[in-house]
Structure 1
Amino acid sequence: MKTVTPYILLIGAALGMGAAYRMRQRPEPEPAAPPSATEQVRETPTEPEKDEPLVVVRKTAPPPPKPIEPPEPAEIRGKAPAKEAAPQQSTPKAVQRRPRPAPNYWEIAARRFSQKQDMLNREQNPDRRLALIQSMSANVRIDTPSTIDWAMGLEDPEERRVALEAINKNALVGIGARIHMDETGVPRIMDTTVLSAIDSTGMTQPGDYIVGIENGEGEPTYFKGQSMQNIVQQLRGQAGTEVNLIMERVETDDSSKSVVFNVPVQRSMIVVQPPF
Structure 2
Amino acid sequence: VFDFSGDPWEKQIAKSDNFVFGTQIGDIAFFGYSGAHYWWEVESEVQAFCRFVGDTDTVHHIVLLGHWNGPDLGCKPGMQVPAVYDKMQGMPGCAGKRMISFMGHMHCNKVTNKGSGILDARSFMIGASGMLGACMSEFGVVVVESRDDVAYELDGKGIRVDYVPVTQDPSYGRNPNALRDNHNGIMGCLSGDGNWEKCRRLHAFSWRATTVDDIVGGAPPPLFVPKSVFVPTEPPSVSPIKFIGEAAETVGRALVILLLSAAVVVIIVFGVIRSGIVSVAYTPRAFGQVQPELESLSGSQYGPVLPPA
Task: Give the TM-score, by structure 1 length.
Answer: 0.28
Structure whose alpha-carbon radius of gyration is higher: 1
Task: Give the TM-score, by structure 2 length.
Answer: 0.26
Q: Which has the higher contact order (CA 8 A, sep 6+)?
A: 1
Higher share in helix: 1
Higher share in strand: 2
